Chains A and B, each alone.
Chain A
Amino acid sequence: MECRVARTRSARRGSVLLIALMVTVGVAMLGACLLQFSASASRAQLQSVDQKRAFYVAEAGLSESIFGMMVGKSGNIGSAESPARFGDGVLWVEALKTEDGRIVLESNGLCGGGRASQSIVVQQHANSIASLGIFSDGDLVVRAGSVIDSYDPDAQLLAGLVGLLPGAGAMSSSGKIGSNGNITVQGAKRSVTRIDGDVTPGVNGTVISSANVTISGSTVPRSAPVVLPPIDVPSLVSQGTLVHMASQALTIATGQHRYDSLTVGAHSRLVVVGPQTMVVGSMVLERGARLLLDTSNGKVDIHATDYVSFGAGSVIDNQQHDPAKAHLYISASRTIDRNGDGVPEAPVTMLCTGAMYATVYAPAASLTLSNGLEVFGAVTAASLVLGENSKLHFDEALLVDDGTGPDDVKLLSWKVLELPEVPLINMRVDPVVLLRLQGAALLSPCDSHQDVEFKIKYISVKGERVVWAGVEAKFDWSQVRSVVAIGRLGDALFGIL
């Protein structure tokens, strides 16, 4: 009996161990699964963070590229072989010009294991300087009784067709008046000042207005100052002095002319036929003189380099009533005694009357418009005073880009791209670590704008006009006061400059 029990016990020996072993293996397997799951979740989380960071690195690349374009660079930053370092990641941007003049910017951002590629389409353009409307680089004063608004010339034409008075009914409500300083708008009980549109002072400027002033728009200050481009005066051979005193009209035929001085005597008449580019040292219209701009066949551009004096009662008439066809560029800036009487004369005096259809651009001169003058077009000056009861109607057609204004980049579209087939992207390792191992320099984005063969025409800090060609990176921007034109290899301008 005892022997049977002992045999049974011996047969059962080790079964608990087996069960324990099975449980242990089961728990170990479960633990391994959990560990695997946890590691996987952690990796996914890390990947998600890296992905997000890569996305924002690519965004930063686009921003840097746009900034580069706005200061005259190509928009290319780094390359797939030599990207720029940004934070814990790297980026590169390629700028591709399309046939219609737009620019596609493709930015790639890599951070840890994250990869992102984005693209935007931008359009680079320079506004018309006349699009500034009524603008003063310094303070602007609007005297009592003035009216400032804008008009659409096409609507004006329609209004004329239906028998309304010229201009009546065609005025819109987006008059443009602004400055880089303060704007003072005066009004009087019997001379109410009316501004239809926004009045935009400088960044730290304000609009001072009083009772009897009506402003239909906002008076919010601008977010960034406006830089007035300098005038590019054409190089022409002087034909000496032109003085016209006779009562009969004198006609200057179409073409290009330069005079040291041009004087139209009292009640005399001068006709300038367009297309015309005229450069004059000093331009004097004596009392009652009449300057007729015949713009029926083309525009008339008059550059006054030293002195402008439009006497009382003088008239500037534009035959086509189209301010886009009559430009008065005044680069005069010195207040000096010109007639030897001991009293210094301002570089620009405008006492003309009637209606003037023109754009006046005098970035270096203080300008005071005579009382009662009516301007259709745009006026820009270093500082500007609009005389009492003056009327300024901004021509909305001047908003069209003619390439004379400051550079601007307009964003047209944005999209996320498929990742390109590039070794650095395909290898899912930290790009910074990899590139460091390879000995890459990893410059910052602002130092990674790509070198491009380019030509630049600019006004130097000494006031001289200079043309420079070479590798963009070697160009000394500290010598530039303002840029006239830039052309890069592949641009149409590159060959012209």
Chain B
Amino acid sequence: MHFRIGVWLLLVALALPAPASDAPTVASLRRVSVALRADADKSAEQLAETLAALGPVDLPAIFEHWRSATDADRLAASPRRVGLSEVQQKALLLAIKRMPAEWRALLQSLTRPEVELPVRRGAVRALREIGEAHDARVLLELARPSTMKPELGENADEAETSAAASFTEAAVEEFETCVERMLERDAASFEQFGQRFFDADAELRPLLIEAISNRGTVAAVEVLTHLLGKDGELDLLLMTAIGKSAATVAPPFGKDIEEAVRSMLSADSADLVRETALVVGRLEDAEAIQALVPLLGHANRGVRQNAYWSLKRISGLSFAADQKTWAAWLKVEEVWWRDTAPELFDRLETAERPEALDIVQQIARRRYPRHPLAVELARGLSHGDCEVRRLTCIALAQFRSRTAVAGLLVCLDDASPEVRTEAGRALRAVTGLDLPPVRTEWDRAGY
């Protein structure tokens, strides 16, 4: 039994790439240098092939050449120095990429505290160019400010000062762009960074939040929302970052996201409530209206103004910032939604033309709750009468809800040219894309 385990471990050890030494030898550096300058006319791919042929033993030297060629601080310190050409830099990176297991082992070895800061920053830059989702952990270790200065004292003030000194503006930018590129390159990175968020050093967390929010996708909003409420210190930053991401994505968002954000409206901190009041507006969360109306009377002016902005945005109405007016409106809308709307929705598909037209007009006059209302109104798109379908398209254009996109796309193939035209108009209003009412054009645009 012990023998078998021993053999198995031996096999595993052999299968693993040889641990690359992070300090290249002079001879290795020279070999790479000679290979780089051997033929000036070679393309990046050809040069990369030559470099890769040197083997994993020269990988640290290849990395070192690339690192020093892309070190902005070093270049700024000696601007007259002739560096490597873009082709040579690209070739070095391609050569590194051709040895995936080896470069990952090399970068892992660079996470040791004694490795110098410029070298670790070089590793971060390398990940920026070639890193994928499963490199998230290595990145967070490489960028950890507290490991950048191994001589950090136990004194908290001293530690903070040293960390700040080591984590320069350029290093921050490199880290953030690295995270952004990894998220762009591999969508699984969102999950990886989300899972490893609290493994990251405290100084890195705000930067991670900012980098994720810069992506401006639903995935970014999801990751950030899941982090809400886990660290009170970060909640305000997370909320503003969610708002930043959400500003570039068309609503509606998932129920989980809406609920998580909405729950923060009852936070103790006025700053957090103020930002949450704004973010629910960006999410166009109709269910937040109930909580927003009382905020019009909040003691904090910022909270009141942000809540008012969101109410106008969610409802599409412009009442004055008066709590009573909004409360009265909400009550009427809720009663209609609860008592009258269900019957109208049921009759919409089967009613005869005059009644169906009347129902569409009744629904079109409402805006609460906008997205669910648009979902129900879209039933009119499958009505047998083309005039009902046409009017439904016009009404959906006013709702500007992305929930109607699927139904409107179907109407682009409608037998009636009037319906096709109005469906095209509605799609343009909802998506903001100026495309003709032709299905293939919309398919090409990713719809």
Residues of A within 8 A of B (CB): 182, 198, 204-211, 213-220, 341-343
Contact = CB atoms under 8 A, between A and B. Distances in A.
Contact of A209 (B80, B232, B271): B271
B65 interface: no
Given A215-B271, A219-B274, A220-B278, 5 more contacts: A207-B240, A209-B236, A216-B300, A218-B301, A219-B278
Interface stretch (B89-97, B100-108, B241-249, B381-389): B241-249
A213 B271 contact: yes
B53 interface: no
Contact of B210 (A208, A213, A215, A219): A208
A182 B216 CA distance: 13
Nearest to B307: A218
Contacts of B274: 215, 218-219
B302 A216 contact: yes
A206 B283 CA distance: 14
A217 B240 contact: no
Contacts of B306: 218-220
Contacts of A343: 76, 79
Contacts of A214: 271
A210 B80 contact: no
B302 A211 contact: no
A342 B339 CA distance: 75
7 contacts: A198-B302, A204-B248, A207-B240, A208-B210, A208-B237, A218-B274, A219-B240
Ranked nearest first, the 6 interchain pairs of A and B with the lowest CB-CB distance are A342-B79, A218-B305, A210-B237, A206-B244, A220-B309, A208-B240
B305 A220 contact: yes
B301 A217 contact: yes
A211 B237 contact: yes
B83 to A, nearest CB: 12
Interface string B225-262: 00000001110110011011001100000000000000
Interface residues of B, number: 28
Nearest to A207: B240
Interface in B258-289: 271, 274-275, 278
B23 to A, nearest CB: 31
Nearest to A203: B247
Contacts of A211: 232-234, 236-237
Most A Cβ at <10 Å: residue of B233, B241, B302? B302
B244 A217 contact: no
B159 to A, nearest CB: 13
Contacts of A213: 236, 271
Contacts, number: 67
A219 B237 contact: no
Most B Cβ at <10 Å: residue of A198, A214, A219, A342? A219
Given A182-B244, A204-B247, A211-B234, A217 B305 contact: yes
B175 to A, nearest CB: 16
Contacts of B248: 204
B interface majority secondary structure = helix
A492 B296 CA distance: 47
B153 interface: no
B206 interface: yes
Contacts of A205: 247
A215 B302 contact: yes
B220 to A, nearest CB: 13
Contacts of B237: 208-211
Contact of B309 (A209, A217, A218): A218
A292 to B, nearest CB: 34
Given A220-B306, A341-B79, A206 B236 contact: no
A interface majority secondary structure = loop
Contacts of A182: 244
Contacts of B236: 209-211, 213
Contacts of B241: 208
Contacts of B213: 208
A206 B241 CA distance: 9
Interface in B189-245: 206, 210, 213, 232-234, 236-237, 240-241, 243-244
B271 to A, nearest CB: 7
A98 B248 CA distance: 47
A197 to B, nearest CB: 9
Contacts of A206: 240, 243-244, 247
Contacts of B210: 208
A209 B274 CA distance: 11
Interface in B151-203: none
Nearest to A211: B233
A207 B305 CA distance: 14
Contacts of B300: 216
A204 B248 CA distance: 8
Contacts of B309: 218, 220
B80 A219 contact: no
A216 B303 CA distance: 9
Contacts of A216: 300-302
A286 to B, nearest CB: 22
A424 to B, nearest CB: 35
Nearest to A208: B240
A173 to B, nearest CB: 9
Interface string B59-74: 0000000000000000
A216 to B, nearest CB: 6
Nearest to B301: A217
A210 B302 contact: no
Nearest to B312: A220
Interface in B296-347: 300-302, 304-306, 309
Contacts of B206: 210
B275 A219 contact: yes
B326 to A, nearest CB: 17
A342 B240 CA distance: 40
Given A208-B237, A209-B236, A217 B243 contact: no
Nearest to A195: B302
A207 B302 CA distance: 13
A370 to B, nearest CB: 15
Nearest to B269: A211
Interface in B365-399: none
A218 B302 contact: yes
A210 B240 CA distance: 8
A419 to B, nearest CB: 31
Contacts of A215: 271, 274, 302
Most B Cβ at <10 Å: residue of A205, A214, A218? A218
Contacts of B80: 342
A341 B234 CA distance: 43
A241 to B, nearest CB: 27
A216 B79 CA distance: 46
Contacts of A204: 247-248
Contact of B302 (A219, A341, A342): A219
Contacts of B244: 182, 206, 208
Contacts of A210: 206, 234, 236-237, 240
A218 B305 CA distance: 6
A144 to B, nearest CB: 10
A211 B80 CA distance: 43
B208 to A, nearest CB: 13
A341 B301 CA distance: 52
Most B Cβ at <10 Å: residue of A204, A216, A220? A220
A209 B233 CA distance: 11
A218 B274 CA distance: 8
A138 B274 CA distance: 24
A111 to B, nearest CB: 24
B243 to A, nearest CB: 5
A211 B271 CA distance: 9
A333 B363 CA distance: 54
A221 to B, nearest CB: 8
Nearest to B76: A343
A211 B76 CA distance: 35
A182 B309 CA distance: 18
A477 B125 CA distance: 48
A445 to B, nearest CB: 24
